[in-house]
Amino acid sequence: MKLSTKVTELTNIIAPAVAACDVALWGIEFAPQGNRSLLRIYIEALPEEQAQNKQVTIENCAAVNHQVSGILEVHDPIAGEFILEVSSPGFDRILFR
């Protein structure tokens, strides 16, 4: 499976779990590294919260991590072990779209 196809598959699986945590999915990075892969999820505050200068908190990241971990256990889209990281994109944002 091509990496872009895998990222699309992961995005489709992860997006509802992120939305359930009342944050927006900014993008994901997936880096297969032999027997252990890295899945990095970037989240940001919803547009209406951004208008009020609210930002992503560590509690938001923990909630998304918990939700996504459960979804990934059920769907099992990543072969082998993987590391899951959740963070905000920060000021030097990577553009995914």
* pLDDT tens by residue, 34-84: 889 999 999 999 988 888 888 999 999 999 999 999 999 999 999 889 999
Residue 95 domain-assigned (yes or no): no
**What is the rounded average pLDDT of the residues 1-7?**
81
Q: Which two tokens stand for residue 50?
A: 């951004």
Tally of domains within the chain:
1
Residue 21 domain-assigned (yes or no): yes
**Residue 12, pLDDT score:** 96
Residue 72 domain-assigned (yes or no): yes
- In sequence order, which ranges of the chain are alpha helices (DSSP H)? 3-19, 47-50, 58-75
CATH of the domain at 77: 3.30.300.70
State which residues form the domain around 58.
3-87
Residue 46 domain-assigned (yes or no): yes
**Do 39 and 46 form a contact (C-beta atoms < 8 A)?**
no
Q: Is the pLDDT of residue 92 over 90?
A: no
**Do 7 and 52 form a contact (C-beta atoms < 8 A)?**
no
